Amino acid sequence: MSMICVTGAASGLGQALTARLRADGHRAVTVDLHSVEIAADLSSPGGRAAAIAGVLDRCDGRLDGLVPCAGLGPQHPPDRIVAINYFGAAAMLDGLTEALAAAGSDDERSAAVMICSNSTTLTPGAHGSLAQACVDGDEPAALALAADTHPAVAYAASKVGIGRLVRHRSATLGGRGIRINAVAPGPFLTPLLQEGLDDPATSDAIKNLPIPLGRMGEPDDIVEVVTWLLSHSARYVHGATLFADGGIDSSLFPDRFP
C-alpha cells in the first residue's frame, strides 16, 4: 500500500483521485478547506505550514506520492488564484520533499504529479512577468502583479509556473529518488469548470473550444493519467508535462513542438 497526499480533495479532480486511490488499496492523506483529514487554506504561508505538518504527522515522515490538486479558476480574485495554484502547490512539494525522498529508491521512486493546464498555450500573456515571478519564488511580487492581471491570464500564468517548476526541479528531485511530472488537462466536468460555464464572461470561450475527440473530459479521464504517472509503469517518465485535453492543443497548434 502506498501513502499518497492529495490536496483539493473535497471536490473535483482531487475528490475523484482520492476515491480511485483508496479503491486501489492506497492510503490517501487528504487536504482541503473542509470535509477532509487536514483542513488548511493553501493561500497563506500559515495554512501551508499547517497542511505540511498534518501530512508529515500522518505519513510518519515517509510519503510515496504527492498530487497538489487544490486550485481556483478565473472566476476568483487573481492574486488568490496565484497564491493557491502556484505557491500553495510549490510549498507542498517543498515541504514534503524529505518525506518523498525517504520513500524513494533506485528501484521504486516516489512521485509527484503536478496539475498544469492547456490554458498555458491558449492564453495570451501567460508566459510573461507573472509566470516568471512564480518560478522565481517571489510571492509578494507575483501577488502584486496578479492584482493588476485579468483572472484568466493569472490562472494560465500560475499553470505556466507549474510547468516550469516541473522542468526546473527534475534534475534535483530525480537525484533524490523522486519523479516529478505534470498533467495539463483541457476542460473537464468539475465544479471548477461549471463556474466557468455559468459565468457569461467565460462561458462561450469554453463551449467553443474545438475538441477533436468530440467531448469535454470527465474527472476519471484525468485520474487515469495521474494514477499512471504515480505508478511504477511510468518509472522512466520524469520532468514531463502530459496534455490530456482531447487534442485541443495539438489541433490549434499543429506545428508547435515540443
**pLDDT tops 90 at residue 36:** yes
* Residue 252 within any structural domain of the chain: no
**pLDDT tops 80 at residue 82:** yes
* Residue 249 within any structural domain of the chain: no
- Residues of the domain holding 188: 3-244
* Residue 80 within any structural domain of the chain: yes
**pLDDT tops 90 at residue 141:** yes
* Residue 196 within any structural domain of the chain: yes
* Residue 254 within any structural domain of the chain: no
Q: How far is residue 252's CA from residue 243's CA, in Å, rounded to a whole number?
A: 13
Q: How far is residue 221's CA from residue 54's CA, in Å, rounded to a whole number?
A: 29
Residue 68: closest CA among 112, 27, 10: 112
Average pLDDT value for residue range 42-46: 98
* Residue 250 within any structural domain of the chain: no
CATH classification of the domain holding 19: 3.40.50.720
Q: How far is residue 169's CA from residue 9's CA, in Å, rounded to a whole number?
A: 24
**pLDDT tops 90 at residue 180:** yes
Q: Given the residues 86, 155, 188, 243, select the one marked as catalytic.
A: 155
* Residue 194 within any structural domain of the chain: yes
Q: What is the pLDDT of residue 71?
A: 96
**pLDDT tops 90 at residue 195:** no
Q: How far is residue 219's CA from residue 203's CA, in Å, rounded to a whole number?
A: 19
What are the tens digits of pLDDT across the range 210-239?
A: 899 999 889 999 999 999 999 999 999 999
* Residue 145 within any structural domain of the chain: yes
Active-site annotation holds for 236: no
Q: What is the pLDDT of residue 69?
A: 98
Q: How far is residue 105's CA from residue 166's CA, in Å, rounded to a whole number?
A: 19
Cβ pair 160, 120 in contact under 8 A = yes
Task: Give the residue with greater pLDDT, 109 vs 132.
Answer: 132
Residue 141: closest CA among 133, 151, 129: 133
CA–CA distances in Å: residue 34 to residues 24, 39, 53, 54: 24, 5, 17, 14
Cβ pair 86, 161 in contact under 8 A = yes
| Domain tally, the chain | 1
